[in-house]
Amino acid sequence: MSALLSTRALSRSFGGLRAVHEVDLDLGPGEVRALIGPNGAGKTTFVSMLIGRVAPSSGRVLFDGQDITRRPAHARVRLGLAYTFQITSVFARLPVAENVALAARRRLGRDRAAVAAEVARTLGRVGLTGREKIAAADLSYGHQRLLELAMGLAQAPRLLILDEPTQGLSEPEIETFKALVRTLAGETAILLIEHNMGVVMELADRITVLDAGVVLAEGAPAAIRADARVQAAYLGTAADA
């Protein structure tokens, strides 16, 4: 099966600091891939290159066989790549439903009935039914994260990049999130950047571990859990992107 997303020798340096160095990654259609690593591992820089926020110093990013290395972020969205931020990026003054509608209109245009149906469906998937008229700013932090996820899903992405999606969620909300990811499996590829190792080990098909900007290990959850190098570099410690 051909990869949906590939990177080849993807690198980024800031002055004399090597943030990411020659990372190769292949993510297949419908795959749930976790990206983990200690503080300063290069996860945020790597993802920023995937979505077009940071230009690589060298290397390539390919999406469905197309070289998108120099394409702007909005062009990547049109190809089917959606990203949810580590820090919420909702439109605070707008109602919940309108936040999702804005995302849905990118795909569905001005078809009001289709947009309304997508809003209702997506809010139901993330557990926010009944909060449609509440201003996004009045939601709890955890519910803002779920709203941001709904905005990503409303675009029907082929690849959904989730940056610390369970941060700020209660245990019941984390369970809702895990159930949602399971329903998405096969429907869309997911790249999960997550500090909650229970979530990672339960949901990921494969895990890529970054350390000091390079790939330290890659494999199935059981293999990663047993890898002595990963244990020494990361597992058992708290980490953010």
Q: Report the candidate in 118, 66, 128 with the shortest Cα–Cα distance to residue 95.
A: 128
* Domain edge (last residue) among 112, 139, 156: 156
**What residues make up the domain containing 100?**
90-156
- Two tokens, residue 196: 């909650």
pLDDT tens series, the chain, 241 aa: 689 999 999 999 998 899 999 999 999 999 999 999 988 899 999 999 999 999 999 999 999 999 999 999 999 999 999 998 655 679 999 999 999 999 999 899 989 999 999 999 999 999 999 999 999 999 998 899 899 999 999 999 999 999 989 988 999 999 989 999 999 988 899 999 998 999 999 999 999 999 999 999 999 999 999 999 898 877 654 443 3
- Sheet containing strand 58-63, edge to edge, reads 17-27, 5-14, 58-63, 66-67
Give a yes or no: residue 4 inside a domain.
Answer: no
Do residues 163 and 51 both lie within one domain?
Answer: yes
Predicted confidence at residue 1, as pLDDT, reads 61
Do residues 47 and 165 both lie within one domain?
Answer: yes
If DSSP codes are grouped into helix, strand and coil, which group holds residue 238?
A: coil
Question: Are the CB atoms for 23 and 218 separated by under 8 Å?
Answer: no
| End-to-end alpha carbon distance in the chain | 30
Predicted confidence at residue 59, as pLDDT, reads 98
Do residues 136 and 223 both lie within one domain?
Answer: no
CA atoms lying within 13 Å on the CB side of residue 145 = 18
Do residues 122 and 47 both lie within one domain?
Answer: no
Do residues 163 and 221 both lie within one domain?
Answer: yes
Give the chain's radius of gyration (CA, Å). 18
Do residues 94 and 131 both lie within one domain?
Answer: yes
Helical (H) or strand (E) element with 205: none
Predicted confidence at residue 3, as pLDDT, reads 95
